[in-house]
Amino acid sequence: MQIRNPAFFEAPSFWKSDWGEVNAYLDGVKAGQVWEIGRSHGGLPIRAVAYGPKEPIERRGNPFSAEAFGHPEDFFDPRKRTRPVVVLISTVHGVEIEGCVACLNFAHLMESGADLRGRRWEALHELAAGMRVVLVPLAQPDGRVRSAVRHLRGGSLADLSYYGQGVPKPDAGGDLPEGWHYRYSPVPVDRMEYQGGYTNDGGINIDLDDFFSAHMAPETRALMDLVRDETPDGFLVMHSHNPGPWIASPNALVPERCQYHQVQLGALVAARHRRDDLRPAWRAKAGLDRSGYFGTINLPTALHHVSGALPLAFEFPHGLAPNPYTFDEILDIGLTLFEEILRYIQTWGRQRGR
């Protein structure tokens, strides 16, 4: 791996994004419950931390049999649960660590009453205290360890591409099509000079895994099992990109009710970020995108189908040049995002009617 800019490896102490420092923080958690939900392809632990008690779910069917016979309560009966449940998942792609920082600061708020900068988020804290919130700060450890940078603030698209999707060996391309080194699944890791953080050690991008196959990546399996087991009201998968903060467009392959919620919550989060001068990206569309990424089964869609939960995906800004977001702004984007999502789920979650 190249050190393209030494500044990428340094960050303020509240910016917990490094593999070692995130795990050290989780080792010290007291109010939350920490456990291992699975292991990566490379054998690293994938850890979750939960705040709020877990209520038992009595199953008499799977999500599909229950729906098909008109009795969704055979899989999950929201009337029997008293607290809304939300699952927050970050760093599916190893270099996209902004959501992990937000998760750790949220954990610290629940542990101590303030984030790691000492800021109290009273509305968020109060909302979370009445719910069960499960965090998976580093869902894909292999790529996190491999990409190693703490952030990419002030960097270029070339830096993002290097630490994200990596670079093939100089003679590996031949007559292969453009983008083969991150588009193929699995990525042929033996032909990469540097693999980047996008994929696990087996070369799998878990956001677009082979979801119905026995060869599903262990990270994907762990997330599917967690979300099915929790059957949350909603869950969020956090990524990062170059533009401003943005709740992803609706997925074509989830029920319409979920698509309406995705649009509404996207507007609420953008309005909050605009109000707080956090410069949301303007990518809303009037119509539903039925092609490409939003027209296929990606990780949020797959997690919806094993749980029935409202699927949400979010893109943080990396803060690349020429308009870098500050560390503080990126963290504020995350904590205001969590507050808006928790409030929405508390208001419109499954137990309040579909």
Binding positions for Zn ion, rule: CB under 5 A: 93, 96, 239
CB-CB contact of 248 with 315 (8 Å):
yes
Of 225, 226, 236, nearest to 345 by C-alpha is 236
CB of 237 to Zn ion, least distance (A): 9
Indicate the DSSP class of residue 293: G
Q: Which is nearer to Zn ion, 76 or 314 (CB)?
A: 314
- The CB-nearest residue to Zn ion is 239
d(CA 303, CA 299): 6
d(CA 162, CA 329): 24
CB of 71 to Zn ion, least distance (A): 37
d(CA 339, CA 16): 20
CB of 279 to Zn ion, least distance (A): 20
CB of 165 to Zn ion, least distance (A): 10
Q: Which is nearer to Zn ion, 239 or 350 (CB)?
A: 239
Q: Which is nearer to Zn ion, 110 or 223 (CB)?
A: 223
Q: Which amino acid is at 278?
A: L
CB of 223 to Zn ion, least distance (A): 14
Q: Which is nearer to Zn ion, 93 or 144 (CB)?
A: 93
* Strands 234-241 and 246-247, sheet pairing: unpaired
Of 159, 139, 151, 163, nearest to 328 by C-alpha is 151
Q: Which is nearer to Zn ion, 93 or 272 (CB)?
A: 93
* Strands 310-317 and 234-241, sheet pairing: parallel
Residue 222: half-sphere exposure toward Cβ, Cα within 13 Å: 24
Residue 324: half-sphere exposure toward Cβ, Cα within 13 Å: 13
Q: Which is nearer to Zn ion, 96 or 233 (CB)?
A: 96
CB of 246 to Zn ion, least distance (A): 12
CB of 160 to Zn ion, least distance (A): 11
Q: Which is nearer to Zn ion, 37 or 238 (CB)?
A: 238
Greatest alpha-carbon span in the chain: 60
